[in-house]
Amino acid sequence: MVKLTEDQFDLYTYKNTGKTISVRSFTWENENKISVQVITYGATVTSIKVPDKAGVVKEIATGFKDLAGYQNSENPYFGATVGRVANRIGDGQFKLFDEIIQVSKNLGKHQLHGGFVGFDKVVWEYFVDGNKVIMSYHSSDMEEGYPGDLVVHTIFELTDNNEFRVEFKATTTKPTYVNLTNHSYFNLAGHNTGASELYKHVVCINADQITAVDKDSIPTGTLLPVADTVFDLQIPKVLGNLINKVPHTGGFDQNFCITKGPEQETTFVARVYHPESGRVLEVYSNQPGVQFYTSNFFPENPATYKGDKSKLKTLTGKDGNYYKHGAFCLETQNWPDAPNHENFPKSILRPGETYYHYVAYKFSVKN
């Protein structure tokens, strides 16, 4: 039996009106001692606690202790619902039929994760339906440059069989592009155990190709086979043996093209295992891609950094600091920059259609 409780996480004040509202938190706990918390700010996953093979429960998701942390400009999208278009839009523009659409550019000359005020930076409405929490947001026409009034629903649920399920649904009043994701970061040894433990993780991703990118991590349109490369994770590999061999990015930050049959909807995406704790995470989704990211842009750890330590930044989480390679993401998604590549899966949403994205994070323990 799963228990669901609601509480106040923090207070949010709208800058334009001065109105203060309550940011609500929802916490599930099942009989297997797994718990998950989400909040209405950014439809964000703030906590995932999972027992190890000895029954010891630890926090495995990075995050902050209060709303100020999530509102901080240094927040790397911890646990957030990201949109209207996740990942990158090259040059901040794309062609929609015969019109060039210019969206906001919050990453140099490109757009990242929906722009300056994406879905991660707003307070969502909510409704509780049994064991499900449904969060909703109305993205106005031309918000961050995207056409169409978009109504988005993110549906969260924890089950008795240790699956944390997330569904995204969206409808629009005008043709537009949509590509949503959840941006949770994990470390199965414990959220603050750092790179030394992350390197012990064993990773498997069901993909035989990745999308090639340029120096700005913008897809070129070319698909690269992973065979005989550092990106071949079709057979489980120890992360520490590979992470520092990834060219250019200082770790993994690639879109893996998921292998699935033409009639398949939901399929196996990835499996990550931490041998010492025995914790296992499996990801299943209906999306054609997953961005595997290993926190390459987190601050360097001063204990191991050999450069000028006075210039190091700090990223303080809910229980200590987070450092480079301290956590990983598996962001299920359409392929990035899809509007600009005719050979990529369709990402246009038209009036009368419903965007649908399903992802399940299944937790288990291997003795």
134 DSSP 8-state letter:
E
Q: Is residue 87 part of a domain?
A: yes
Q: Is the peptide bond before 271 cis (omega within 30 degrees of 0)?
A: no
CA 346 to chain centre: 20
CB atoms within 10 A of CB 144: 21
Q: Is residue 191 part of a domain?
A: no
**Do 164 and 215 reside in the same domain of the chain?**
no
**Do 14 and 158 reside in the same domain of the chain?**
yes
Nearest to 268 by CA among 255, 285, 280: 285
Q: Say if CB 14 and CB 72 are below 8 A apart.
A: no
Its domain, for residue 109, covers 3-184
**Do 73 and 151 reside in the same domain of the chain?**
yes
CA 149 to chain centre: 24
Q: In what order do the strands lie in the sheet with 20-29?
A: 3-13, 20-29, 35-39, 44-51, 57-59
**Do 298 and 162 reside in the same domain of the chain?**
no
**Do 203 and 94 reside in the same domain of the chain?**
no
pLDDT given for residue 135 in this prediction: 98
How many independent structural domains does the chain possess? 2
Q: What is the pLDDT along the chain (367 residues), one digit of tens a residue?
A: 899 999 999 999 998 899 999 999 999 999 999 999 999 999 999 999 999 999 999 999 999 999 999 999 999 999 999 999 999 999 999 999 999 999 999 999 999 999 999 999 999 999 999 999 999 999 999 999 999 999 999 999 999 999 999 999 999 999 999 999 999 999 999 999 999 999 999 999 999 999 999 999 999 999 999 999 999 999 999 999 999 999 988 999 999 999 987 777 999 999 999 999 999 999 999 999 999 999 999 999 999 888 888 889 999 999 999 999 999 999 999 999 999 999 999 999 999 999 999 999 999 999 8
Q: What is the CATH number of the domain that holds 316?
A: 2.70.98.10
Q: Say if CB 118 and CB 141 are below 8 A apart.
A: no
**Do 229 and 313 reside in the same domain of the chain?**
yes
pLDDT given for residue 261 in this prediction: 78
Q: Say if CB 184 and CB 329 are below 8 A apart.
A: yes
CA angle 170/176/181 to nearest 5° reads 50
Determine if residue 183 is labeled as part of a ligand binding site: yes
**Do 169 and 305 reside in the same domain of the chain?**
no
Determine if residue 165 is labeled as part of a ligand binding site: no
Residue 196, SS3 per DSSP: helix
CB atoms within 10 A of CB 232: 16
**Do 113 and 260 reside in the same domain of the chain?**
no
Q: Say if CB 177 and CB 347 are below 8 A apart.
A: yes
Nearest to 319 by CA among 132, 119, 63: 63
Q: Say if CB 131 and CB 95 are below 8 A apart.
A: no
**Do 116 and 77 reside in the same domain of the chain?**
yes
**Do 148 and 229 reside in the same domain of the chain?**
no
Determine if residue 88 is labeled as part of a ligand binding site: yes
Determine the Cα–Cα distance for residues 167 and 274; give it in Å rounded to an integer.
Answer: 27
**Do 24 and 109 reside in the same domain of the chain?**
yes
pLDDT given for residue 130 in this prediction: 96
Nearest to 296 by CA among 257, 335, 326, 338: 326
Ramachandran region of residue 198, left (φ > 0), alpha (ψ -120 to 50) or beta?
alpha
Q: Is residue 151 part of a domain?
A: yes
Determine the Cα–Cα distance for residues 113 and 183; give it in Å rounded to an integer.
Answer: 10
Q: Is the peptide bond before 350 cis (omega within 30 degrees of 0)?
A: no
B/e letters for 161-200, b = 16+ CB within 10 Å, e = fewer, are: ebbbbbbbbbbbeebbbbbbbbbbbbbbbbbbbbbebbbb
Determine if residue 279 is labeled as part of a ligand binding site: no
Q: Is residue 145 part of a domain?
A: yes
**Do 228 and 320 reside in the same domain of the chain?**
yes
Determine if residue 271 is labeled as part of a ligand binding site: no
pLDDT given for residue 76 in this prediction: 97
Q: Is residue 127 part of a domain?
A: yes
Which residue numbers are catalytic? 183, 331
